[in-house]
Structure 1
Amino acid sequence: MPPSSSKWQPHLPDECWESVFKHLNPHDLESISLVSCNFLSLSNRIRTHLTISRYNLPHLPALLRRFTSLTSIKLTHFFAGDIDALLSQIASFDLPSLHSLDISYQRPFFPSHGLRQFSKKFPTLKSLNCSVTNPDFLLIVECFPNLEEIDVSFTSVFPDTDLHVKALASGLKKLRKADISGTSIIRDSSVFAFCQNCVFLEAIVVRETESISNIGIANAIRQRPQLRSLTVGWSNVTLEFIDALVSLKCLTCLDLSYARISDEALCALAEGGLPLRELSLGDSSGYQYTGISCLLRKCNNLQFLDLQATQFLNDECVIELSLLLGNLNVVNLSQNRNLTYLSLFAIMRNCPLITEIRMDITGVGKQKMEEDCLVVNSHLKFLYLACNSGLDDASVTMLASVCPNLEMMDLNHCPWVSMGAIEVLRRCHKIQRMDLALLGYYSSWSKFQVNIEVPTLFVLNLLGSGISDHELSLISKSCYNLKELNLDNCDKITANGVKQVVKNCKQLRMLSLYFREKLSSDIVAWMVLARPSLREIRIPGFHGHTPSKRDGGCFIDVVPKSHGNIPWS
């Protein structure tokens, strides 16, 4: 018998509960907040990031009063002119921990007045992501001289942009990271100004900027030998640039995607002995196996490797390279059509710490998987195999048997798979997300009957599948904890199937319904009332009014009733 409630009152300090709650995602925290007033208060303090769109704008004051520990705010889906007033409104609230603001992709309007008001309340802002025009660079320096991170990538271009970028570099003395990508008029001197004036600079991103030269970037990075991360992109990497690169003895992250680089350059980079942990050569060309193997033998502590679309890669190359990557956590081998399941199993066998493998658009499935090649990897959590047209049910079943702790599997555009996906649900007891878009295009969906409980599955994409109301009903009963469900182009689904989903999935937050069946305003209103957890219903061409009265064409924003006041996000 348990002790009586009057004597048995388990108690943990708030600090312990906060430590536990930090390991939960925001959706779970909403449920936690319903337990008690104390849990509501604690969960409110855990929330540090908030995305504000015009859909949840009516609840902004309540949200800002509720989440007082916010460190980051992002504004999205606003019309020109709205952000000025919104920034002024945010500045009227007490958010002592706020240090990051993202107002990117709001061109052509720049909220000068709003930022001035915002800076008066938050003068110590550390991170800013925005799209600007020339005069706005000076305003940024004026308002936020203490910035440590700035992202003005793909900004508007005017003749004197380079001059204003130099002023930005001169005014932000505490800058640690800068992204000035995609602005073609920026010159070598702009990059040099950042590296020369920003004495704390540790990371710089300069891609899709044709006017930056090898010599220019080489001269710039020599000014800042403590750089830890460098992302550059141009057509040809020269030995002069490599010579400057190897002087960066603290460099741990290097991204040379889309570059042309020779074996000689890679071997020279290897001789520099840089302590690289992340290396990206995705869509790069000019080098062969000799160069990359030379580099990986020296950089044997890599945790992230991107070799997407590498023309010469085959199974033999990957098998040999995998022996050099004992500390690898994430690898991207997508768009290498000569790679088969042998490469996949080599990574799983020789890289015991691997957690994520991307092999989209490869040859996985073109050959029958041999059981003597199978290897169990309990660390692998994320497996992306999209657009592998040779994959079939037998292959996917084998993969499910050797990846018991998968949390995410992407099988979209794998037309011969159907029952294999059910085996993933059956065997991978930690599965949380599955992308099955256009799955089973050439196989029978009438056999896709999920008759096992899958309480861990939160996100499911069934776009373009041949699923009917019957199969959908079974899925909703078995995967009853779904939070996001995509049924776009599922033309066999009717309003009855949708009702079953809304009825059975009691935590559903997002439902996408782009298919031929016309859903009446009554059905949409019923969904809103029947499932308070819903945040978003996507329906094409809908013009009716739900109880929330905030529909916007293809998007209907749905407000929950938790605590009878305001939504979690």
Structure 2
Amino acid sequence: MQASHTHQSSTRNSVYRHSSPAQSTTSVSDNDDEDFNKSTFFVSPEPVAVSPAQWSRLHILPNTSGSPSAHNSAGSYASRLPPEILIHILKHLHSSRDLYHAMLVCRAWCECSVELLWHRPNFSRLTTLGKMMRVIAGEDQTFLYARFIRRLNFLYLGSDLTDSLFSRLAQCVRLERLTLINCTSLTDSALTRVLPCCPNLVALDLTGVVETTDRVVVALASSTKRLQGINLCGCRKLTDKGVLALAANCPSLRRVKLNGVEQITDEAVSALAKSCPLLLEIDLNNCKKITDASVRDLWVFSANMREMRLSHCVELTDAAFPASPKTEVISQLGPNPFPSATPFLADKLPPLRLTRQFDHLRMLDLTACSALTDESIEGITAVAPKIRNLVLAKCTHLTDAAVESICGLGKHLHYLHLGHAGSITDRSISTLARSCTRLRYIDLASE
């Protein structure tokens, strides 16, 4: 047994000696909400082990309390520490090497540190993943290592991760966070087979996994009821069917990224807004079938929204956004005496009047939503007065009046993009400089 344990320890040291790879692009932990743009999609404050690990049946030792070595161990201060306290102390060891050495101190320390060590194995090379696979597949395991793994990040492996390798991860039934960015070799069959084996998933990043289909997402949604964050950017085969399954089965969703999923329509977005009340961030960039109707639902039902990305949603008009306070005054003056003079889509939907402020909204991207006018900007800034990052590049109908509305954001505004808004003049920019004193970046490019 000692030889086997030494070999496995050597393998573990190889698996964990690398520094952590870069995180993916979404966060699930509330503690990291302000750092969403700093590539922290899957971040959790600390490892989750709270009790000593259980030895595998092959390595359960008989009671040796009468032996001299056991007597000496029992007399040490370290061995007298309650496991809960020891685990709490070991959690503060951020170096995998330190955890590895702590595991070799004694049996009690091994039980309390092994799960912390296996909590998030890192892979910068395919050979490292192969070593881990051999350990978790071995019949003579000191512990059931696969059950300790809570996070896996395959960012550095990309297309090297094949179906055969990925299928072995079905043993990691307690997996909570999985990053598969640009793992383009994975097929929908492998994804459909493995992902439902991880019912504790709270965050999944499938960015660039081009074979992700509705079948994959439906299977995932039916088994991962605790899912809080999902990144499906670039999954072009996905349709409303998959997103509707997420909305129906995963009410705890907080972050949903659908950038470039061009087949989804208003039905899917409205379902997310109505079924996922905790929604904090949504990315609909380049979802060109989205119209005013579903975006209005986001404003109505997603009161906690912090980031809304609607870049290149070319069908959007002023009707998708909160109405300007002036709209209510105008409506009180009576019906439009010249109804045929304004045959726009906005006339088909009533002004969107909200009864609450969107004080949590920090980021709004409306790049290339070219139908927007000054009126929508006035409405947005009136209900979301704490926006930090406002992207209005290529909104060509905006004028100085829009900038004057933006001035109302005052000290809260840090980043402003107004490139290719050719009707904006120096006069409003001067007012902006005096009003938004904490502005860090402004884009006024004209070409």
TM-score, normalising length from structure 1? Answer: 0.47
The amino acid across from 1:192 in the alignment is M
Secondary structure (helix, strand or coil) at the match of 1:383 reads strand
The amino acid across from 1:373 in the alignment is L
The equivalent residue for 1:372 is 351
The equivalent residue for 2:249 is 298
Secondary structure (helix, strand or coil) at the match of 2:197 reads coil
Choose which of 241, 245, 254 in structure 1 pairs with 2:204: 254
2:247 counterpart of 1:266? no
Counterparts of 1:154-303 in structure 2 under 5 Å? 174-180=117-123, 189-190=130-131, 192=133, 200-207=148-155, 209-219=158-168, 221-232=169-180, 233-259=183-209, 260-303=211-254
Q: 1:282 touches 1:306 (CA, 8 Å); kept in 2?
A: yes
2:431 counterpart of 1:451? yes
Q: Give the structure with the higher percent strand.
A: 1
Q: RMSD value over aligned CA atoms?
A: 3.4
Counterparts of 1:324-339 in structure 2 under 5 Å? 324-339=275-290
CA distances 1:330-375 after superposition (whole Å, capped 9, x unpaired): 1111111222343332212111221111112222655665452343
The equivalent residue for 2:363 is 382
CA distances 1:196-245 after superposition (whole Å, capped 9, x unpaired): 657643211114522222232121x2333222100113254434433332
The amino acid across from 1:307 in the alignment is L
> C-alpha separation between the residues in 1 aligned to 2:246 and 2:398?
38
The equivalent residue for 1:89 is none
1:400 Cα shift? 1.7
1:301 Cα shift? 0.6
1:449 Cα shift? 4.5
> C-alpha separation between the residues in 2 aligned to 1:242 and 1:311?
22
The amino acid across from 2:152 in the alignment is I
> C-alpha separation between the residues in 2 aligned to 1:199 and 1:384?
41
CA distances 1:176-198 after superposition (whole Å, capped 9, x unpaired): 334536x6x55863562586657
Q: CA 1:198–1:298 in 2, change beyond 3 Å: closer, same or farther?
A: closer
The equivalent residue for 2:18 is none
The equivalent residue for 2:42 is none
> C-alpha separation between the residues in 2 aligned to 1:147 and 1:395?
57
Q: CA 1:455–1:427 in 2, change beyond 3 Å: closer, same or farther?
A: closer
Q: 2:256 touches 2:283 (CA, 8 Å); kept in 1?
A: yes
The equivalent residue for 2:99 is 146
> C-alpha separation between the residues in 1 aligned to 2:363 and 2:431?
24
The equivalent residue for 2:404 is 423
1:284 Cα shift? 0.6
Q: CA 1:294–1:428 in 2, change beyond 3 Å: closer, same or farther?
A: same
TM-score, normalising length from structure 2? Answer: 0.59
1:172 Cα shift? 11
The equivalent residue for 2:62 is none
1:451 Cα shift? 3.4
> C-alpha separation between the residues in 2 aligned to 1:323 and 1:172?
39
2:67 counterpart of 1:126? no
1:304 Cα shift? 0.8
Q: CA 1:361–1:354 in 2, change beyond 3 Å: closer, same or farther?
A: same
CA distances 1:307-345 after superposition (whole Å, capped 9, x unpaired): 111121223432233211211111111111222343332
> C-alpha separation between the residues in 2 aligned to 1:147 and 1:407?
43
Higher RCO structure (Cα 8 Å, ≥6 apart): 2
Q: CA 1:349–1:237 in 2, change beyond 3 Å: closer, same or farther?
A: farther
Give % identity: 18
Q: CA 1:179–1:357 in 2, change beyond 3 Å: closer, same or farther?
A: farther
Q: CA 1:303–1:444 in 2, change beyond 3 Å: closer, same or farther?
A: closer
> C-alpha separation between the residues in 2 aligned to 1:285 and 1:194?
36
Secondary structure (helix, strand or coil) at the match of 1:322 reads helix
CA distances 1:117-139 after superposition (whole Å, capped 9, x unpaired): xxxxxxx9726xxxxxxxxxxxx
Q: 1:186 touches 1:211 (CA, 8 Å); kept in 2?
A: no
The amino acid across from 1:283 in the alignment is G
1:253 Cα shift? 0.7
Secondary structure (helix, strand or coil) at the match of 2:435 reads coil
CA distances 1:515-563 after superposition (whole Å, capped 9, x unpaired): xxxxxxxxxxxxxxxxxxxxxxxxxxxxxxxxxxxxxxxxxxxxxxxxx
Q: CA 1:451–1:298 in 2, change beyond 3 Å: closer, same or farther?
A: same
The equivalent residue for 1:407 is 388
Q: Give the structure with the higher percent helix.
A: 2
> C-alpha separation between the residues in 2 aligned to 1:316 and 1:239?
27
- Length, aligned pairs only: 303
Q: CA 1:258–1:145 in 2, change beyond 3 Å: closer, same or farther?
A: same
Choose which of 376, 379, 390 in structure 2 pairs with 1:398: 379
Secondary structure (helix, strand or coil) at the match of 2:390 reads strand
Gaps of 5+ in 1: 1-24, 26-123, 128-140, 149-170, 466-488, 490-569
Secondary structure (helix, strand or coil) at the match of 2:275 reads coil
Q: 1:188 touches 1:212 (CA, 8 Å); kept in 2?
A: no
The amino acid across from 2:403 in the alignment is I
Counterparts of 1:39-78 in structure 2 under 5 Å? none
Gaps of 5+ in 2: 1-33, 35-91, 102-113, 138-144, 321-345
The equivalent residue for 1:131 is none
Secondary structure (helix, strand or coil) at the match of 1:357 reads strand
Q: CA 1:325–1:211 in 2, change beyond 3 Å: closer, same or farther?
A: same
Q: CA 1:390–1:253 in 2, change beyond 3 Å: closer, same or farther?
A: same
Q: 1:177 touches 1:203 (CA, 8 Å); kept in 2?
A: yes
Secondary structure (helix, strand or coil) at the match of 2:99 reads coil
1:283 Cα shift? 0.8
